[in-house]
Structure 1
Amino acid sequence: MVGPRPIPHWLGVLLGQKFFDPCILHESAKKNEKNIFCLNCCITICPHCLPLHRHHRRLQIRRYVYQDVIRLSDAQKLINCSLVQPYTTNSAKVIFLNERPMSRPFRGSGNLCVKCDRSLQDPFLFCSLSCKVHPIFTLPNFDVLTMPLLLFLSLFSTVNLMSFFRNMHAG
């Protein structure tokens, strides 16, 4: 049976990591926050750990509005980030790793994240990478064969996917 592909192992680990804690290997050094993720080892490291991971693939984690983000250009080399809303900080586009806590309920109409209902700009469907990789296949009335077609159509037409997902989620 053909179904959705599981997410890469490193991505599942990345989304569960806590960043910006001090590195216990370099606790007496300055600038020892763990803000780098080694994709080969699936661990968080600080800048002082880099020599041990010099030949490994790595992602630098950044902070934007107190949340963990990665540069969109770095993420796109590793995973399809389409339909995840990017934000601009320090002239670089970034995407959030995880769903952000809601500060207050959104009042008004508009585009909402398919998973967490955070307000988005058109044409985006997800507020973060974790919301995109979260199994949308658990929504009621979801047909696994429908998803690839809808994503394909969203690239080339004005199909309103948000209303489709909202109707599915409500039904």
Structure 2
Amino acid sequence: MDKKFTVFLATAVSVIFLDLFTKELAVRFLSETGKVSVIPGFFDLTLVWNRGAAFGILAEAPEYIRKLVLIGASSIAAVVTVVYAFVKRNSLSYWEIVSLSLIAGGAVGNLYDRIFIGAVRDFFDFYIKNHHWPAFNVADSAISVGIFMFVVYELFFKKKK
């Protein structure tokens, strides 16, 4: 296995491990307390069972639709990202490899929850007064950072042919 794909796998597996570990901690410690205020008026740890997609999209859809769409989309996103990274690894920069591994690791972390738990465990809750950002988790963060890194690299740093 070459170095770039090793970096890809190590980063993706680290994201998956960190995501599942923090979700388990959130369930263990927040199930009893409901929430823990970390920075009053700005940030709490609050356990939310997200049965929908990002930001609760499709949360009210029938369960068979949610499973079909969300598990299918998550699976496709993870597989496509891994295959793309593997096939293109020799022409991708390390920046691109890491960004793709963050996306893949996050997709797999949330996919695990959807398949084995039936809902994604979210627990980071940022807000100002009554205005809350939808709760999220490590996987969501990894996906967002990975997409941001990939887009920034493509727009500003990639050498154009």
TM over 0.5: no
TM-score, normalised via structure 2 length: 0.28
Which structure carries more helix by proportion? 2
Higher-RCO chain (CA-CA 8 Å, sequence separation at least 6): 2
Larger radius of gyration: 1
